[in-house]
Structure formats: C-alpha cells, structure tokens
Amino acid sequence: MAAAGMVAAWKLPELSVLILLGYVCWTIFAFAVCRKPIMTAKAQQGWYDDVSVQASPSVTPGQPAKPLWPVLIFAVGISLATVIVMAISGVSALLLPLISLGSTLVMVMVCVILSRRQQTHFPDGRPKAAQELQRARGKTVQRTLAALTLASAILMSVVAFAPVIELEPSRISWAIWALTAASSVPIIWLIIDSFCHHRALTAAPKESGPQSPDDDHLWRWGIFYENRQDPRVWVEKRNGIGLTVNIGHPGGMVFMGVVALLVLATIALVITVLAQ
C-alpha cells in the first residue's frame, strides 16, 4: 500500500496531499478504536478506585524559563543586516532575506510566548521532582530554540549572499551541509537532556505526594484535550515535549476551526487540480 501511494504521488504530486491526510485520519481512527477497550477496562475494574489523588491537577506554578536574549538578538541582527545589505544590491534579491527575517522574528515570538506561560505539571506523586524536571526542561527548550534560530539565520544569510559574492557551488553545498549538521546538534542535545531528566524523575522516591487524577475523560478519542473549566488555551501534551490546544476553550475552538478550514480548502484545491 505504501509503495502504491509513493508511485501515485510520483506521477501525480497532488495525490500526496490526499494520501497524507488519509494516513492521518486512519491513525486517529486506529488510536480511538484501540483506546476503547482500555477505557472499558478502567470503568469495569476500577483501576483508580484505591489511588489517592490530589484535588488540583497541578502543583504551584513556577517561574518559566526566560529566552536566551543575547543569542536571539544576534540572530535578528544577522537577518536584518542581510536584508539591508541585499537591499543595496537590488530589490529582486530581497525575497530570501525577508523570509529569513520573518522566520527569525517568528522564532523569537515563540520563545517569548513560552517564557510568559506559567509552568504547571502533573506531579504523579513527586511534586518537587516534577517541578525540577519542568524547570530544567524549560531552560533546555529555550536554549534549543535560540540555537536553532541563530543557525537558521546564518544558513539563510549564507544562501542569500552566495550569488552576490559569486561563491562556488561546491562551497555553497559544503556550507549548507555544515550548518544543517550544526543545527541538528541542539535537537540531539534536547533529546538526550530530556531523557536524562526523565530518568532522574523516575528515580525520585515514589509515593512522596498525591497522584494526579485520571484525566482520560478530558481527552476526546485520547488525542484532543477538551476541558471547559480549564482557562488555558494551550496545555501540556500527554506524551513528549510541547503543547496542544484545549478545544473546550473558545480560543481553542477558533484555532481548530481555522485548521479545519485550511484542511478542507487544501482538499478542495487538490480535487480541483485533479479534475482539470
């Protein structure tokens, strides 16, 4: 099936969009079907009946990690300088530098948004260890984003300047590969650091505090978080690092509505192209 999909996408690139959307829908459906017997077993066997849970699902909010401003400002300076220098060369050469500046500013905005979010965490019986884990994770994420922002700004600047300084294609290729490899280092570091902190959390003394409430009923199909009593639009993902939207919040509903409209528009566009 995968091979057939690849062949179809190769001959008709528009089909790749439909294949990808179909794969996503199938994954959600399979996850929901596999989750149903687990929910039934929880209800029938009372998995959490004898577990002491806390009244509030989160510990006292902590101070979020601050952005790495020196690195971010340096990255913005590189992108802005590239735009200014390329503007002198000609308006036609401004597209790539402007894209670089825009993406850099978006990354800075993401860092600022993350730094303004109050840190909460489901402690699972280890409140202090959970707070330490989240504090360390926040610092690691900020450092990783700052490093990626700087690497992206440098990479885009090199690509933009290459035609102006008449850099040889082989040297351009080596520069791109080197910067791409360098940008993967922060991601690898983030994974290793998260793994180490997770091991430290699991090594902490167990049953040092109340367990988190079973919140399976708040996750529709086990994927989408829906809690009308939660004032947050973005909440921590159940697994991994990052955030997911609360579809029970008006802001979350608007966001998911926009995403749904974009998906429908993409499908309509693909169908229109295939029908021609």
Q: Residue 14: which pLDDT band, with cuts at 50, 70 and 90?
A: low
User: 15 in a domain, yes or no?
Assistant: no
User: 93 in a domain, yes or no?
Assistant: yes
Does 88 share its domain with 154?
A: yes
Mean pLDDT of the chain: 73
- Domain end: 203, 226, 254, which one? 203
Does 74 share its domain with 114?
A: yes
- Domain end: 203, 237, 253, which one? 203
User: 47 in a domain, yes or no?
Assistant: no
| pLDDT value at residue 19 | 73
Of residues 271 and 82, more confidently modeled: 82
Nearest CA among 136, 242, 132, 115 for reference residue 193? 136
Nearest CA among 141, 7, 153 for reference residue 66? 141
Does 219 share its domain with 198?
A: no
Report the distance separating Cα 82 and Cα 21, nearest Å: 38
| pLDDT value at residue 73 | 93
Runs of H (alpha helix) within the chain: 2-11, 15-45, 69-89, 95-116, 127-161, 169-203, 250-275
Q: Residue 3: which pLDDT band, with cuts at 50, 70 and 90?
A: very low
Strands 224-225 and 234-236 come out as unpaired
Does 189 share its domain with 222?
A: no
Report the distance separating Cα 238 and Cα 204, nearest Å: 20
Percent residues over pLDDT 70 in the chain: 66
Does 110 share its domain with 180?
A: yes
Does 154 share its domain with 107?
A: yes
| pLDDT value at residue 69 | 92
Check if the beta carbon of residue 263 is closer than 8 Å to that of residue 21: yes
Of residues 259 and 91, more confidently modeled: 259
User: 7 in a domain, yes or no?
Assistant: no
- Number of structural domains the chain divides into: 2
Does 199 share its domain with 84?
A: yes
User: 99 in a domain, yes or no?
Assistant: yes
pTM attached to this predicted model: 0.56
User: 48 in a domain, yes or no?
Assistant: no
Percent residues over pLDDT 90 in the chain: 5
Mean pLDDT for the stretch of residues 240-263: 80
Joined together, the tokens standing for residue 235 give 């909440």
Of residues 93 and 13, more confidently modeled: 93
Q: Does 125 score more than 60 pLDDT? A: no
Domain of residue 180, residue span: 69-203
| pLDDT value at residue 71 | 92
Does 163 share its domain with 231?
A: no
Report the distance separating Cα 130 and Cα 212, nearest Å: 12
Q: Residue 7: which pLDDT band, with cuts at 50, 70 and 90?
A: very low
| pLDDT value at residue 110 | 83
Q: Residue 80: which pLDDT band, with cuts at 50, 70 and 90?
A: very high
Query: At 184, which amino acid appears?
Result: S
Does 76 share its domain with 190?
A: yes
Strands 234-236 and 243-245 come out as antiparallel
Report the distance separating Cα 75 and Cα 146, nearest Å: 8
Nearest CA among 60, 61, 55, 59 for reference residue 213? 55
B/e letters for 5-22, b = 16+ CB within 10 Å, e = fewer, are beeebeeeeebebbbeee
Other Cβ atoms closer than 10 A to 168: 9
Does 125 share its domain with 198?
A: yes
